[in-house]
A and B are shown apart, each in its own frame.
Chain A
Amino acid sequence: MSKAVLVDVTKCYGCGACTVACKLWNGKEYDDAKKPTVGEKAQLTDINWTVVSKHKVTDASGKTVWRFAKKQCLHCEEPACASSCLVGALRKTEEGPVVYYPDLCVGCRYCMIACPFGIPKYEWDKSFPEVSKCQMCSSRLAKNEAPACVSVCPNGVMKFGDSEQILKEARATIASDKRYIKHIYGEKEAGGTAWMYISDQPFEKLGFKTAVKNQSLPEYTWKIINKIPAALVVWGGILTGVYMITNRRNAVKSSKNNENKGGKS
């Protein structure tokens, strides 16, 4: 059964416990000065698989308020990164995580370009760099444990469970509480993701990429790739045909110069 996490932005108070849990669990370094994990400057980096970004927004009464948005890989149902990887170093597992196998990776960085959310980061300073992104704690999930960040949150910002159940809950929450905007970020984005968000603030104000298409991106490519075999056969056939005709003509050695039809049809 595929797992999902629902993040309720309104409940987060920005303690950053989740970011520490992630670093503890995954053995990532800390660099508060250059790569902070919480606050207005917080950004996903090679060592920050998750961050809590701070946003100043306006609440219903017109007052400036703060919101904290816990960000990490969204674990697409149809991940563009995995579809882009030429060695299958990124894989969608059955439980939901999109997992990275560093030993396979060749470091072409196409996944970074491919991800519509700009999630995969790179260890630019290392001699033998790896792509770096949240693994949704796949090894914990395998033991049926919640991701580390989920389990440490003091406010229950994140709910972990079976994806259908989680989606149902998300729908129920935004339907029953009128503070929430009527959008579940991640329900449809890029064809749906395992991490979903609900919020009382428009998502673009919380630094979410809202231009992301609803269609799954690999589908675009697949539309092209799946034509290749046929094209290959047809194109090869045509070329062989033309080649043979040309040759026969030459063999006949007509005295006239060969007249050619446009070859590129």
Chain B
Amino acid sequence: MIRINSNITFKMTGFRKLLMLFSGIFFVLVFYRFAVGLSITNLSDAWPWGLWTVIDVKLGIALAAGGFTTAGIYYVLGIKKIESVVKPAILTAWLGYCMVALGLLVDLGRWYGFWHPIVSWGHHSVMFELYMCVLLYTIVLTAEFAPIFFDGIGFKRTAKFFVGLTGFLVIAGIVLSTMHQSSLGSMYVLMAGRLDQLWWTMALPILYFSSAVAVGPAVVTCESALSGKTYNHEWDNEAMPFLAKWSGYVLSFYFVVRIIDLIVRGQLGRLFTTFDAQTFMCLLELIIGSVLPLFFFWSYNMSGKFMDKKMAVRNAIFIILGVVLNRTNVVITGMWKSAGTGYFPSTQEILITVGLTSFGILVYLFISENFGVFTPHGAEDEDVSVRSGVGASGVPTT
């Protein structure tokens, strides 16, 4: 147990020590990398993008989609029963985006020029749009997260000020997210003729966006299950089934678009007639990420049952794996043939990714333990006043 003052503490466990070790390695490596450049990676002219792009950036952003989806469901659609997940989701998203920003910084060859896009606009570039959206959205998330933070350290007024902005922030957040989640897909539209036809389509932005909207709540589900274990709070029997349903419907939409697109572009047949690394990975992605979770979802849905915890978490895991596979396939598998040579990340690359994730988890744990992120239904403490403050912006709390 580390005690900073009477309010702020941090419990130590073996697992956390391990995370700290990885984070330590991460920071050392990052400094080293900043000094010597990208030669520590296995990136090459044939593979300008690798592990960091897949995980630190593409996946990071997709998996942090829980923030804007839950915020949208809660504030815009006014579905109050998911309240318990909103704050943790925003926290995860905020952290996720901070990590993405850090990951991107590490990945940038001329990292010290990270601010150039602000003054020199490449407005034709999807990357520019992505940069700007991520930048603005991180600011928005910070503002959304601010009440929790200021409240935690006792600045109630400041907290209140930010609460007042909620409506605007939520809508801005959704718009920005829509743009950059889909931009992650649009980015690869430029790879026409090189990205394998199994993945290249003009519909990439739609696919990326819808899969993000589906995977966001799935991440929240898993997170809730995990943190429930750690903090002994209950499985929210109202919020979770709703999220499972949400993911199910959105994923169905995604899957239909994906399949229709494959059919229209005459690629579906190839999946079953040729066998190579590409078709294999694509099938794997489709089965794990869509077919299985959709099968479970619809079989439950048709029979009118709600998913229990086990089912919901299992489905969520499938969906997350599906997105992981999909992003990896677009960046790596689909580009394999046109790259001409292979790629496997170097140890340093892997350590940096692992370290970054470890660091993220540590910060998450620290914040959630000290800033009252998980406040189970009806739990009475001073945070409630802030949360009821949320009501001031229009959404009443229970």
Q: In their complex, do chains A and B touch, with some C-beta pair under 8 Å?
A: yes
List 15 A-B residue pairs with CB atoms under 8 Å apart, sorted by A's residue number.
A106-B110, A106-B111, A106-B114, A107-B113, A109-B48, A109-B109, A112-B45, A124-B39, A127-B37, A218-B190, A223-B202, A224-B205, A243-B75, A249-B78, A264-B250
Pick from A25-33, A61-69, A78-86 the stretch touching chain B.
A78-86
Cα(A105)–Cα(B193), bound, Å: 26
CB distance from B30 to the nearest CB of A (A): 14
CB contacts (< 8 Å) of B23 on chain A: these are: none
Question: What 1/0 flags go to B120-138 for Cβ under 8 Å of A?
Answer: 1110111111110000000
On chain A, the residues within 8 Å of B131 by CB distance are: 86
CA A256 to CA B117, docked complex, whole Å: 50
Does A114 make an interface contact (CB < 8 A)? yes
CB of A104 within 8 A of CB of B120, answer: yes
Cα distance A80–B192 when bound, in Å?
11
8 additional A-B pairs beyond A87-B120, A105-B113, beta carbons within 8 Å, are A84-B127, A86-B117, A105-B116, A106-B113, A106-B117, A122-B48, A211-B193, A231-B179
* In the complex with contacts A223-B202, A235-B178, A239-B174, A110-B110 CB distance below 8 A: no
Q: What chain B residues lie within 8 Å of A82 (beta carbons)?
A: 124
Q: Are A246 and B77 in touch, CB under 8 angstroms?
A: yes
What residues of A have a CB within 8 angstroms of the CB of B171 in the complex? Answer: 236, 239-240, 243
Write out, one digit per residue, whether chain A residues 123-134 have a CB within 8 A of any chain B CB (1) or not (0).
Answer: 111111110000
A60 at the interface (CB under 8 A from B): no
Known: A106-B113, A110-B187, A127-B35. A239 touches B76 (CB 8 A): yes
Contact of A108 among B75, B77, B124, B127 (CB under 8 A): B127
Alpha-carbon distance between A116 and B43 when the two chains are bound, in angstroms: 19
Considering only CB atoms, which chain B residue lies closest to A213 in the complex?
A: B193
Cβ-based interface call for A212 (8 A): yes
What residue in chain B is nearest A132 (Cβ atoms)? B45
List B contacts of A122 (CB < 8 A): 38, 43, 45, 48, 109
The answer to the question of B36 belonging to the interface, with a C-beta cut-off of 8 Å to chain A, is yes
- In the complex, the answer to whether B193 meets A129 with C-beta atoms within 8 Å is no
- Whole-angstrom distance between the Cβ of B123 and the nearest chain A Cβ: 8
Contact of B125 among A84, A118, A126, A263 (CB under 8 A): A84
A88:B121 contact, CB within 8 angstroms: yes
- A246 near B78 with CB under 8 A, answer yes
Cβ A263 vs Cβ B45 within 8 A? no
Residue of A nearest to B80 (CB): A258
Interface-central residue, A87, A121, A223, A263, by most chain B CB under 10 Å: A87
Q: Which of B26-43 contact A (CB under 8 A)?
A: 35-39, 41, 43
Q: A107-B113, A221-B189 are in contact. Are A124 and B43 (CB under 8 A)?
A: yes
On chain A, the residues within 8 Å of B41 by CB distance are 124
Does B298 touch A at the CB level, under 8 Å? no
In the complex, which residues 241-263 of chain A have their Cβ closer than 8 Å to any Cβ of chain B? 242-243, 246-247, 249-251, 253, 258, 260, 263
Query: With A106-B117, A127-B35, A239-B174 in contact, is A113–B191 under 8 Å at CB?
Result: yes
Q: Does B376 contact A (CB under 8 A)?
A: no
Cβ-defined partner of B38 (8 Å) among A129, A221, A222: A129
Q: Known: A84-B125, A224-B205. Is A114-B77 also a contact (CB below 8 A)? A: no
The yes or no answer to B73 lying at the interface (CB within 8 A) is yes
For A118, the chain B residues whose CB sits under 8 A away are 45-46
| B173 to chain A: closest residue by CB | A239
A220 touches B179 (CB 8 A): no
Any A CB within 8 A of the CB of B24: no
Chain B: residues with Cβ within 8 Å of the partner, total of 63
Q: Which residues of chain B have C-beta atoms less than 8 A from A130's C-beta?
A: 109-110
Q: A84-B127, A87-B122, A217-B190 are in contact. Are A128 and B110 (CB under 8 A)?
A: yes
What's the Cα separation between A80 and B109 when bound, in Å? 20
Question: Is A228 part of the binding interface, using a Cβ–Cβ cutoff of 8 Å?
Answer: yes
B360 within 8 A of A: no
B379 CB to nearest A CB, Å: 22
0/1 per residue, A198-225, Cβ < 8 Å to B? 0000000000000111010110111111
B141 vs chain A, min Cβ distance (A)? 17
A45 within 8 A of B: yes
Closest B residue, CB atoms, query A119? B45
Q: Which of A108, A126, A221, A251 contacts B108 (CB 8 A)?
A: A108
Among B44, B117, B192: residue with most chain A CB under 10 A = B192
Residue of A nearest to B124 (CB): A83
B190 near A84 with CB under 8 A, answer yes
Distance of B62 from chain A, by nearest CB (Å)? 17
Interface contact B110-A109, CB-CB below 8 Å: no
- Closest CB of chain A to B200's CB: distance in Å? 10
Please give the distance in Å from A124's CB to the nearest CB on chain B: 6
What 10 pairs across the A-B complex have the smallest Cβ distances? Answer: A107-B109, A246-B78, A86-B128, A107-B110, A247-B394, A112-B48, A86-B127, A109-B48, A263-B77, A88-B122
Q: Counting CB contacts under 8 A, is A232 at the interface? A: yes
B192 touching A247 by the CB < 8 A rule? no
Give the residue name and chain of the A residue nearest to B34 (CB). Answer: A127
Closest A residue by C-beta to B188: A113
- Chain A residues near B126 (CB, 8 Å)? 84, 221, 224-225
Are the CB atoms of A220 and B202 closer together than 8 Å? yes
Determine whether the beta carbon of B122 is less than 8 Å from that of A224: no
Contact mask for chain A residues 75-99; partner B; CB cutoff 8 A; 1 contact, 0 none? 0000010111111110000000000
User: B44's contact among A124, A213, A246, by CB below 8 Å, is which?
Assistant: A124
Tell whether, in the assembled complex, residue A124 and residue B124 are in contact, meaning their CB atoms are under 8 Å apart. no
Contact between B122 and A107 (Cβ–Cβ < 8 Å)?
A: no
Is B194 in contact with chain A by the CB < 8 A criterion?
yes
- B70 at interface, CB cutoff 8 A: no
